[in-house]
A and B are shown apart, each in its own frame.
Chain A
Amino acid sequence: MTNGTHISEEDLALHALQALTAEESAAVQAHVAECEVCRAELAAATGDLALVALSTEPQPLPEGARDRFLSRIAEDAKQAGAHPKLAKIIPFNPAAVSRVSVWAPKVAVAALLIIAAGLSWEVMHLDMRLRRETAVLRSMTEKNARAQAVVDVLTAPAAQRVLLTAAKTPPAPSGRAVYLPSTGALIFQGNNLASLPADKTYELWVIPANGSAPIPAGLFRPDATGNASVVLPELPKGVPAKAFGVTVEKASGSDTPTAPILLAGAAPTAGE
């Protein structure tokens, strides 16, 4: 079910459709709770389902459906009125209510209750919003700490870097780039790279999607175990990438890549 370290997009779509078995769904849910990438992909798949729902031919509501709903929530608001917390936030005017309850027809009381219900909804909504914004602030603080922890792990000389491959397969040089075009943020990690003579260096390249010249994205040399990383090199913002490449250049680097390209990887197109 997992594709490398993530749930496959097919299975995430099926999970959103509730089309997996209970066991499969539980496994997806457990993974998604821990994995931001899969959580985002699941949200996107659910967005796709909303589109399918929108293809439904519109049907008129059954007669009286609106009144039945408003009566139901009015009744609920009336009951909630006995609750001290709700009684506090529903802005009743006691005098008005007293007059209405004595003299006005029942329908007018119901109307007042609906208005009160609407107001209590607004109050609850504002309260929710405040709690939400507090939660967002907390979440951002946590995210910053997490991002720092990620960078620390990726760049720590003492970190153990292990590439898992099929048994008896000699490890081949590889690299993984994570790139955010809108901010020009790039993190690259290379593994199993051959060591180079002192007058040579590896150079990372961003190949822009618009066909313009490759952009140098940092020089690096592997450590004794063949690992290397490039973290947040200076890059222009807003340049979608078609691909990434690694070449060997002279020690001071180069403005244009020199063949051959040792490592190359195509970036997924938007929406993939």
Chain B
Amino acid sequence: MAMAEVFDRYGGLVYSVALRVLKEPAQAEDVMQDIFFQLWKGAGTYTEGRGSLGAWLAVVARNRAIDSLRRRKPTDSVEDVVLPAKTDLSSETERNLMIEKVREVMKELPAEQQRLVELAFFEGMSHTEIAAKTGDALGTVKTRIRSALMSLRKGVQG
């Protein structure tokens, strides 16, 4: 697949995730441009064994946006991001169906789980920071985050 085609297919997804985290269009575009440029430069950073390219890019976009938000150097290498091979978002239809499903499941999560996912995923807070902010015990934070992710997985598979 030519690079322009990759960009056309996944640029919007990567930008949207980065913007949701950073809330600043110029910063979000910088993150997006860097991700695609790195993909172009280091073709070896992504392989099919790392799961669907779209899903992989979505996670890398979130991680890079959080790094940018916290003004820190990338905390992980893109090589560390590996997804299950079965996640397939290559076709527009599959992606749209999956997005619909995910949104439905997210809405149905208990409010406290939605809040923890928001804090951990989109605001990049650590579990200790979340526990301090919400007043919940560390164990409760861990369990709720895990439960939210499991509900999402089961909801999408089901």
Contact = CB atoms under 8 A, between A and B. Distances in A.
Interface of A: 9-11, 13-14, 17-21, 29, 39-40, 42-62, 65-66, 68-70, 72-73, 76, 114, 117-118, 121-122, 124-125, 128, 132, 270-271
15 contacts: A14-B127, A17-B121, A17-B145, A46-B51, A46-B82, A50-B51, A52-B106, A53-B55, A53-B121, A54-B98, A59-B19, A61-B29, A72-B37, A114-B4, A117-B3
Contacts of A19: 120, 124-127, 130, 145
A121 B2 contact: yes
Contacts of A61: 11-12, 15, 29
A100 B76 CA distance: 43
A47 B51 contact: yes
B3 A118 contact: yes
B144 to A, nearest CB: 9
Contacts of A66: 4, 7-8, 11
B115 interface: no
B12 A72 contact: no
Interface string B103-139: 1001000000000010011001111101000000000
B4 A118 contact: yes
Interface string B26-69: 10010011001100110110011101100110110111001000
A113 B40 CA distance: 14
B145 A62 contact: no
A46 B81 contact: yes
Contacts of A9: 146
Interface of B: 1-4, 7-8, 11-13, 15-17, 19-20, 25-26, 29, 32-33, 36-37, 40-41, 43-44, 47-49, 51-52, 55-56, 58-59, 61-63, 66, 75-76, 80-84, 87, 89, 95, 98-99, 102-103, 106, 117, 120-121, 124-128, 130, 142-143, 145-146, 149-150, 152-154, 156-157
Contacts, number: 174
Contacts of B4: 66, 70, 114, 118
Question: 4 closest A-B pairs (Cβ-Cβ)?
Answer: A50-B55, A53-B58, A118-B2, A10-B142
B153 A47 contact: yes
A51 B75 CA distance: 21
Contacts of A21: 126, 128
Given A20-B126, A47-B87, A53-B59, 6 more contacts: A18-B76, A46-B83, A47-B153, A51-B98, A51-B156, A61-B11
Contact of A50 (B48, B56, B128, B143): B56
B126 to A, nearest CB: 5
Contact of A52 (B117, B124, B128, B143): B117
A126 to B, nearest CB: 10
A50 B76 contact: no
Contacts of B154: 271
A56 B18 CA distance: 10
B17 A56 contact: yes
B126 A59 contact: no
A50 B33 contact: no
Given A18-B63, A121-B43, A271 B83 contact: no
A17 B156 contact: no
Contacts of B130: 19
Nearest to B66: A18
Contacts of A73: 3, 37, 40
Contacts of A62: 15, 25-26, 29
